[in-house]
Copies of this chain bind each other. A is one copy, B any other.
């Protein structure tokens, strides 16, 4: 197959947990595009050196190489305009960038402080030194300390999701009546957590859970069938 996506994997090569790779996988599924998934570990920089940078997702589509999940979504939208739209118009594309910015900072910033230790536990042995060193430098504390007190701190995380609840009280998806890229951005983060952590993120009855269930089922259960932990209903 001429279309390939380099996809972050854990010790089990079938455990694929990167939130940014999930954005790309769901965008490809939305466009109805087949893709060969290439498992990749953090320290395999040589394998994606052709992309001119060192992070996944990296999409190879014929002769095109695109890295960065936002760039991949935009590439797919422009290269396959006759397929279902990821943005439903230029206004959608522009404003979805705000959802992307919120997810990258607030959502993923909150999640990593709940599941960092669980990420580490699922990494391939050869990635652990790199991961520990880079994350301990980023958080300026031992890796094991980052998630301390998460049972108490999860309340603050749940509060930070209030903008999602406001939207989902008014419409079934962030993108309106049907899911599109804004949903995949946010869902990708929940799926990241699900793939590596049994920690319960949402309180019983949280309306975000129903939306998450629908996205777990999207595209024939693409996300639900991925190796991970059950989520509380």
Contact = CB atoms under 8 A, between A and B. Distances in A.
Interface residues of A, number: 35
Interface string A65-109: 000000000000000000001011111111111111110111000
Interface residues of A, dominant DSSP = helix
A174 interface: yes
A96 B102 contact: no
Given A98-B99, A98-B182, A182-B98, A162 B105 contact: yes
Contact of A90 (B102, B105, B173, B176): B176
Contacts of A98: 95, 98-99, 102, 163-164, 167, 174, 182
Max chain B Cβ within 10 angstroms of own Cβ: one of A87, A95, A98 = A95
A40 to B, nearest CB: 25
A90 B93 contact: no
A87 to B, nearest CB: 5
A7 B132 CA distance: 55
Contacts of A92: 88-92, 94-95
A85 B95 CA distance: 14
Contact of A175 (B95, B163, B166): B95
Contact of A96 (B91, B104, B106, B180): B91
Contacts of A171: 94, 97
Contacts of A164: 98, 101
Contacts of A105: 162-163, 166
A140 interface: no
Given A98-B99, A171-B97, A174-B98, A163 B106 contact: yes
Nearest to A90: B88
A164 to B, nearest CB: 7
B166 A94 contact: no
Max chain B Cβ within 10 angstroms of own Cβ: one of A104, A162, A167, A171 = A167
Interface of A: 85, 87-102, 104-106, 162-167, 170-171, 173-177, 180, 182
8 shortest interchain CB distances as A-B pairs: A89-B89, A91-B92, A88-B91, A94-B176, A101-B166, A101-B163, A102-B163, A95-B95
